[in-house]
Amino acid sequence: MSEGMSRGAIVENDAEISPAKERIQCRMCGSEEVRRAFRRGYLQLNIFPLFGYYPWRCMTCGTRMMLRKRHRKKQDHAE
């Protein structure tokens, strides 16, 4: 793995959340292709939920991160 990328890193600051646009952007590669990931291990299953942290994965570079954001808001569809 490249320097600075640790597999399964649990760092809240790996992604930027823009409150105005409700978008999550990976700081490692800048991609907005960030999706919720399944919880793994004892900490993610039992401890992090108590503090409101949710697992996310960048689909471009594969970086995993824990964020306090649960999901993206769906865009309003024009009717």
- For 23-77, the pLDDT digits (tens) are 788 889 989 999 999 999 999 999 999 999 999 999 999 999 999 877 655 554 4
How far apart CA 64 and CA 78 sit, in angstroms, is 33
Question: What are 50's two structure tokens?
Answer: 């108590």
Instruction: Provide the β-strand partners of residue 57.
Output: 35, 64
22 or 78, which is more confident? 22
CB 54 within 8 A of CB 36: yes
Question: What are 4's two structure tokens?
Answer: 């600075």
> What's the whole-model pTM score?
0.61
